[in-house]
Chains A and B, each alone.
Chain A
Amino acid sequence: MFLENRLAIVGVVMLALIFGFCFLGPQFYHTDQIHVNLGNENLSPGAGHPLGTDVNGYDVLGRLMVGGQISLEVGLAAAVLATFLGTLWGAVAGYFGGVVDTVMMRLVDALLSIPTLFLALVVVSMFPPTEAELILVIALTSWLTTSRLIRGEALSLRVRDYVQAMRVMGGSSARAVFRHIAPNAVGTIVVNATFQVADAILTVVALSYLGLGIRPPQTDWGGMLNSGLDSIYDGYWWQIFPAGIAIILVVIAINFIGDALRDSFEVRLQRR
């Protein structure tokens, strides 16, 4: 069912290509991304540098590949961590209900009132970031929406007739959770995780754009746009568009995949 969806195939292919580009590309296209080469700065696209160079002389195409590695890694890891935390929190709150639920969810409410970027910026300003820390920070600010979602699922699944039927048969709570609630929530979790990846990528890129993400000489797509912004007056479009377009392509591809996954999980239940 997933494979029948044309957009999903497009999305998968796009993602595969981009991953290949970022992780395998540097094997074939060697550039120096560590040492500043001030003699070569701001060259427009041409021989030797298909996408030109940036203000520090780094080759833009190479930087696109290497930067992509970080953006994608952080995005993926943060999403996985956020999903894990959010699912656990939401499941406990939803399953037990009552006071436990109220307390846990009020906390989530409060954290949600603080916009993600603000919270992330505060943490990042306290602890200068490495890649691992970025993953942690982003995960810690994005698990909230997942927890709400899972809590809603847990609450509604708990009162489903088939869970009650199982109780009548003498089944235990553990059985309810592992055999009935979890498998039925898997669809929601997977779909949400997919969209979380896109969200996480957008967040890490925003942080780097603000200069508070990955520190140079490492960079990611957001960092590239940071340095690119200073040169728009000079019209150096090649320093801006490649990174931006790369971000857009990745996020769109993930959206296609997420939509198709959602379709395939629900259709199976609806098909009569």
Chain B
Amino acid sequence: MTALVEIEDLHTEIKLRRSVVHAIDGVSLSVAAGECLGIVGESGSGKTMTALSVMRLLPGGGTITGGRISLADTEITALTEEQMQQVRGNAVGMVFQDPLTSLNPTMTIGDQIAESVRLHRDASKATALERAIEVLGLVGMPRPAERVSNFPHQLSGGMRQRVMIAMALACEPQLLIADEPTTALDVTIQKQILELIDGLRQRLGMAVILVTHDLGVIAGHADRVAVMYAGRIVETAEASTLFTNPRHPYTEALLEALPERAAEGAGRLYNIPGQPPDLTAPPPGCKFAPRCRYAQDQCKESEPYLTAAGDSHFFRCFFPVGSFEAGDPGAGRAGPDDPVAASAPAAGTADGLDAAVGLDTMVGGADVSPGGASSAGVSAGGPAGRSAGPPADLRAADLRAAAGAAAAERGEFLRVDQVVKNFTVTSGAVMQRRIGQVSAVADVSFALPHGSTFGLVGESGCGKTTIGRLIVGLEKPTSGRILLDGHDIARQSRRDRHLRARAVQLMFQDSYASMDPRMRVGTILREPLAIARDGSRAEQRRRIADILGEVGLPASAVDRYPHEFSGGQRQRLGLARALIGGPSLIVADEPVSALDVSIQAQILNLMRDLQREHGLTYLFISHDLSVVRYMADAIGVMYLGKLVETGPADAVYLTPAHPYTKGLIDTVPVADPVAERAKEHQGVVGELPSAIAPPSGCRFRTRCPRAQELCALEEPPLRPFTSTAHQAACHFPLREPEPGLVAAAEPAGAGP
């Protein structure tokens, strides 16, 4: 296929006040018509900059300093600004990440879409509006003729993104660039949008550049993939080849850091030590060398050249991993157990604060984990985890069984019993009138044994955060009990509140917002101890130093401010602050959602280690099913305030009974192209209904492919399926309950 878009040796710089950021350092790509190229990388890798460079929409101070970009016969880099304005929106369309802020709040969506048409096709207002309605229908918006005069704030997130896509497509572009189009959306909506883009690509024969950090999305929707790191492309391949046979160490490391890879082996996640390099002063030689476990001296001195492996697989590495393919020059490579690898992570970490990476350094076989499948061993054969097959599964199941049994013996620690939380919605200028009630949590019950992890998973608005806040004491339940070690902490006196504060702590999603920006780390960490009046000053100082060491931060952190740390380090601080009072239960509310994959792996590993060491119990709240599956012993799936399924993690994940759970599992993108394409396309349809007036009977029925009349009349109770512990609330579940299992009078939690 001839390439429609060609990028040759692109260099882009951004001038800051005192330095220059080399955002893109020699990127070459090509995309053919009808093909989808995925550009994947972590934050700071330059993938967004590449997309913006193609559109020549660089932020202030940004310029293309070298290279060529051509679209069909036009050389984009040589155009003047006026000519470029003719190209934008016309031959190239772009979809941005956040549809709420990317749409003009004071213009109707019809006008915004029509603007594109009027600019490039010289159409009259009426014609342009007609085209807008037509395109809205194309992107799957219901009743487009009515909605065309709506404003962006009247639409939901998924609808807004459809509007963005419609805007980009209005003039039938040859190339569509999508920059993280689904990151801000719920996972079920995400699938709808991605499928929409795929369908449109095939129908209109466009080329698509899909920029994202999510490997699962790439696996399911990209034909070819380019992996970027620090402004360069480190590997390009067909999607299927990339995931089964990555050649560049960075790609391999990324794949190994994914929770879904490690979940089956129950091993530790591989985490990439250190930080991405500072692009104002990039290191010489291979940019990944400081963090690469296979790096040698040659890597740090000279840049690796482009090597080909097969006709469409390219990478830049002196010592690639993976199996040799035909035509591969195959330079010699040191094995992962090579002693050199041990010294690599310690060298040249970009930031002194990370020198004490401590717990998380992966050094060959020194890494001991319950599963025994150390990352080094698994990587030798290529893709992580997948080759392990049945033995790993059984091993994992055994482990969980052992852990669960041990936990069950220690007895129940936290029990949530028929908790209901309603929020009143008020409105009115002079006096606040009640205009409705939001049913945020509707009769939820579950239990956690000591030392286990319970994962609460669901999309936005399902009530999982509210449950976290109820347990921690930030809200009072409207009815129901929350029992901690037998004591009802929902109805409490002041004294009890202090006791609860010592036993239960919260880890926030955004640690930066949860720490007073004017306080130094030392004061922040001291605060829980000061409130509890725990120990003398000297003891407290010692505790602080100890806990910093445990979470892998240097002792010098005490004098710094929170804003001086990176995202991952701040999460460590959050964890440290939660731990310092010696709690028994930690509620972690989306602790890793805002982090890059490699940092995520560090934090998850840290949480696991600390759990083992201190005997902690975790309530892990997340929307990311793969992370929850990796961390949790038992899972609870919530939808619109109701617990629809609960049970041991493997049982829920491998043998789901509730259609919503199955839908979630199907829609979560996994980093395996074969599995992705084999997925059923049904998934979950439609939009989330309002929480003020939830659907009668079963709340999921409006989006359920199996819904029938009974579902609207009667609310389904929780019934057991594969075991007493595995329960789901559905009239027409996906599997038959095991005969002989009696519905437990009270729902139970983890432990098969």
Contact residues of A with B, CB < 8 Å?
102, 160-162, 164-171, 175, 179-180, 183-184, 269-272
Contacts and interface: CB of A to CB of B under 8 A. Distances in A.
A262 B446 CA distance: 50
B518 A165 contact: no
Contact of B514 (A162, A170, A171): A162
B505 A168 contact: yes
Contacts of B515: 162, 165
A272 B562 CA distance: 9
Contacts of A180: 516
A139 B705 CA distance: 68
Contact of A166 (B500, B513, B527, B564): B527
Going nearest first, the 9 A-B pairs with the smallest beta carbon separation are A170-B501, A161-B514, A161-B513, A162-B516, A169-B528, A165-B514, A168-B506, A269-B517, A170-B498
Interface string B507-544: 01010011111100000000110011000000000000
Contact of A272 (B431, B531, B563): B563
B531 A175 contact: yes
B510 A161 contact: yes
Interface string B559-597: 000011000000000000100010000000000000000
Interface string B473-496: 110000000000000000000000
Contacts of B528: 169-170
B497 interface: yes
Given A169-B528, A271-B563, A184 B498 contact: no
Contacts of A175: 531
Given A161-B510, A165-B515, 4 more contacts: A162-B516, A166-B527, A170-B498, A183-B518
Nearest to A171: B531
B564 to A, nearest CB: 7
Contacts of A169: 501, 505, 527-528, 531-532, 581
A175 B527 CA distance: 10
Interface string B452-492: 00000000000000000000111000000000000000000
B502 interface: yes
A168 B474 CA distance: 7
Nearest to B474: A164
Given A170-B497, A170-B501, A269-B563, A165 B508 contact: yes
A39 B532 CA distance: 79
A169 B505 CA distance: 7
A168 B472 CA distance: 6
Interface string B419-461: 0000000000011000000000000000000000000000000
Interface residues of B, number: 29
Nearest to A98: B432
Contacts of B577: 165
Main SS at interface, chain B: mixed
Contact of A184 (B473, B501, B502, B516): B516
Given A164-B474, A184-B518, A271-B563, A170 B510 contact: no
A272 B498 CA distance: 35
A169 B580 CA distance: 11
A167 B506 CA distance: 10
A162 B532 CA distance: 17
Contact of B564 (A164, A170, A179, A272): A272
Given A164-B474, A183-B518, A269-B517, A170 B502 contact: yes
A162 B498 CA distance: 18
B474 A170 contact: no
Contacts of A171: 527, 531
A126 B516 CA distance: 49
Contacts of B516: 162, 179-180, 183-184
Contacts of B498: 170
Contacts of A170: 497-498, 500-502, 528, 531-532
B352 to A, nearest CB: 17
Contacts of B514: 161-162, 164-165
Contacts of A184: 516-518
Residue among A161, A166, A169, A271 facing the most chain B CB atoms (10 A cut-off): A169
15 contacts: A161-B508, A162-B513, A162-B515, A164-B514, A167-B473, A168-B474, A168-B501, A168-B504, A168-B506, A170-B501, A170-B532, A175-B531, A179-B516, A269-B517, A269-B518
A160 B474 CA distance: 13
Given A160-B513, A162-B515, A167 B581 contact: no
B563 A168 contact: no
Nearest to A186: B518
A167 B431 CA distance: 29
Contacts of A168: 472-474, 501, 504-506
Interface string B44-61: 000000000000000000
Contacts of A272: 563-564
A244 B564 CA distance: 47
B37 to A, nearest CB: 33
A102 B528 CA distance: 34
A183 B513 CA distance: 16
A269 B531 CA distance: 25
B727 to A, nearest CB: 30
Contacts of B531: 166, 169-171, 175
A154 to B, nearest CB: 15
Nearest to B562: A162
A13 B452 CA distance: 65
A59 B472 CA distance: 73
B154 to A, nearest CB: 26
A15 to B, nearest CB: 28
A179 B506 CA distance: 20
A164 B502 CA distance: 15
A179 B515 CA distance: 12
A162 B570 CA distance: 13
A159 to B, nearest CB: 11
A166 B518 CA distance: 14
A179 B514 CA distance: 14
B567 to A, nearest CB: 11
A176 to B, nearest CB: 10
